[in-house]
Structure 1
Amino acid sequence: MSPTTEPIRGADVRIPITLACERYDRTEALRDGRVRPAGVDLTYLPQQVEETFFRMARFREFDAAEMSLSSYVITLTRDAPFIAIPVFPSRLFRHSGIYVSAASGIREPADLIGKHVGVAEYQLTANVWIRGILADEYGVPVESVTYRTGGLHQPGRPEKLKVHLPPAVRVEPIGPRQTLSEMLATGEIDAVYTPRTPESFTRGDSGVRRLFDPSRPAEEDYFRRTGIFPIMHVVVLRRDVYERNRWLARSLHDAFEQAKTLCAEGIDETAAARYLLPWLHDEVARTRAVLGADYWPYGLEKNLAVLRTFLRYSYDQGLAARRLEPAELFAPETLESTLV
Structure 2
Amino acid sequence: MSQSVNSKPSVKASRRQFIAAGALASVVLAEDAVWSQTKAPTANKPMLSLAGYAYDRVLGLVDGRVPVKGFQTNFDQADIYTLNANAMGGKQTWSVQEIGLHPYMLAYANDMFRDYALVPVFPLRMFRHRSIFIRTDRGIKTPADLRGKTVATPGYSQSSLTWIRGFLQHEYGVLPEDMKWIVTTKSSDQGAVSKNESVLPQDVPIVPGPAGQDESDLLRSGDVDAVFHALEPKAYIDGDPNVERLFGDYRKIERDYFTKTGIFPIMHAVAIRRDVVKRFPQLPVAVFNAYSQAKHLMYSNLQKQTAFMMSLPWAGKELEETLDLMGENFWPYGIKPNRKALEALFLYSFEQGLSKKQLTIEELFFPTTLELEEAKL
TM-score by length of 2: 0.82
Deviation at 1:120, TM superposition (A): 1.2
1:24-79 deviations in Å (ceiling 9; x for gaps): 00001111111110122222222232332233332133211111110111122222
Greater alpha carbon shift after TM alignment, 50-59 vs 86-95: 50-59
Residue aligned with 1:265, SS: helix
Match of 1:298 in 2: 333
Does 2:101 correspond to 1:66?
no
Does 2:361 correspond to 1:326?
yes
Deviation at 1:84, TM superposition (A): 0.5
Inter-partner Cα distance in structure 2 for 1:230 and 1:162: 17
RCO higher in structure (CA 8 A, sep ≥6):
1
- Superposed counterparts of 1:183-198, under 5 Å: 183-198=218-233
Match of 1:18 in 2: 49
Q: Return closer, same or farther for 1:275/1:327 CA change in 2, 3 Å cut-off.
A: farther
Give 1:53's match in structure 2, choosing from 69, 72, 84. Answer: 84
Count of matched residue pairs: 329
Q: Which runs of 5+ in 1 are unaligned?
A: 1-10
Inter-partner Cα distance in structure 1 for 2:198 and 2:187: 19
Does 2:74 correspond to 1:43?
yes
Greater alpha carbon shift after TM alignment, 151-160 vs 207-216: 151-160
Inter-partner Cα distance in structure 1 for 2:210 and 2:191: 8
Does 2:268 correspond to 1:233?
yes
Percent identity over paired residues: 35
Q: Which runs of 5+ in 2 are unaligned?
A: 1-41
1:131-153 deviations in Å (ceiling 9; x for gaps): 00000011111222222222221
Inter-partner Cα distance in structure 2 for 1:275 and 1:158: 34
Match of 1:31 in 2: 62
1:296-330 deviations in Å (ceiling 9; x for gaps): 11000111111111110111112222112223221
Aligned alpha-carbon RMSD (Å): 2.1
Give 1:172's match in structure 2, choosing from 198, 201, 207. Answer: 207
Give 1:211's match in structure 2, choosing from 246, 249, 255. Answer: 246
Give 1:250's aligned amino acid: V
Residue aligned with 2:308, SS: coil
Does 2:113 correspond to 1:79?
yes
Residue aligned with 2:304, SS: coil
Inter-partner Cα distance in structure 1 for 2:300 and 2:180: 46
Deviation at 1:272, TM superposition (A): 5.3
Does 2:175 correspond to 1:141?
yes
Deviation at 1:157, TM superposition (A): 4.4
Give 1:64's aligned amino acid: V
Counterpart contact for 1:117–1:189, Cα < 8 Å: yes
Greater alpha carbon shift after TM alignment, 91-100 vs 138-147: 138-147
Inter-partner Cα distance in structure 2 for 1:307 and 1:271: 31
Residue aligned with 2:151, SS: strand
